[in-house]
Amino acid sequence: MLLNSLSPDIRHLMSLSALLAGFGLTQNVYGDKSKAEIQTGLQSNRPEPMIFDLVDPLGAPKGELEVNTLLDYSPRTGQFQWSPEVEYSFADGYAIELELPFENSSLDEYKLSLQGTFGKLANGKMIHGWQAIGRRLRHEKAFGAELLYLNDYRFSDKWSMMNMLGLRHTAIGKSGDFVALLNNSLFYSYSQHLAIGIELNSEIGERDWRYRLTPQLQYTVGKNGVIQLGGGPSQLNDTGRTEWLLSSRLVYNF
């Protein structure tokens, strides 16, 4: 019934992701890094999207710990949103994350995420996995959930992309909506420490499509820090009105 309510294009994309996820010819994702991966100098050796980020890099080894915070500011309204996160890889290729999104000084929701890695394909150029997210909306006392397929592909030493495809239920057990999620990012690794990218986050409902577009920079600071900076138009808000947002994510890996 749910699939029938979605457009043919969305159903086709979801079927394609399921087929990709089912491939069993995977390679070891925890072994030696390829030359293409070593070039970037980034923690995951592959640039990552800033807005809709990973719990931990796909294929991360057991024991990796990271703290980071996403910052969003609207110059028009003065609204400031920030989301501190703690991420931990509890097994090779599997990680958990706790996130607390705030609006100004008010806590909006509690968010818990799990992520797993299927493995590598295409001679190590592609690594793919899944992400499951649970949310408790603090003010509405409702629960939401998301499930996504993740696909990271490296074309060369310089160019790579990250694609996410999934589904969200906005309020489980209540009159919530199903929303298709499609997040696409393209990156150019300019040097060992600097990557340039653009990220498109799409939410596709039964009668509408909303987006957020964010050109961004990703720069490593020392061995453990990463700073991401960007900004652009967004309709991913309660009104659906286009807002221009300035964004940053501060990352520290232990």
Interval 60-73: pLDDT, tens: 999 999 999 999 99
Give pLDDT, residue 160.
96
For the segment 81-102, the average pLDDT, to the nearest whole number, is: 97
For the segment 228-249, the average pLDDT, to the nearest whole number, is: 92
Q: In CATH, what number is assigned to the domain containing residue 188?
A: 2.40.160.40
Would you say residue 228 has pLDDT above 90?
A: yes
pLDDT band at 25 (very low <50, low <70, confident <90, very high): very low
State the chain's mean pLDDT as an integer. Answer: 85
φ, ψ (nearest 5 deg) of residue 96: -130, 150
pLDDT band at 42 (very low <50, low <70, confident <90, very high): low
d(CA 118, CA 39): 24
d(CA 219, CA 191): 9
For the segment 11-38, the average pLDDT, to the nearest whole number, is: 42
Q: Which domain holds residue 241?
A: 2-253
φ, ψ (nearest 5 deg) of residue 32: -65, 145
Select from 34, 55, 39, 12 the least CA-distant residue to 120.
Answer: 34
For the segment 74-86, the average pLDDT, to the nearest whole number, is: 94
pLDDT band at 185 (very low <50, low <70, confident <90, very high): very high
For the segment 73-85, the average pLDDT, to the nearest whole number, is: 94
Number of domains present in the structure of the chain: 1
d(CA 234, CA 231): 9
Contact yes or no for 64/56 (Cβ under 8 A) = yes
Would you say residue 170 has pLDDT above 60?
A: yes
Does pTM surpass 0.85? no
Would you say residue 238 has pLDDT above 80?
A: no
Running DSSP on this structure, what letter comes out for residue 176? Answer: -
pLDDT in tens, 110-145: 999 999 999 999 999 999 999 999 999 877 778 999
Give pLDDT, residue 1.
44
Give the CA distances from residue 131 to residues 35, 164, 198, 220, in Å, rounded to whole numbers and listed in that order: 27, 9, 21, 25
Percent residues over pLDDT 90 in the chain: 69
Give pLDDT, residue 239.
79
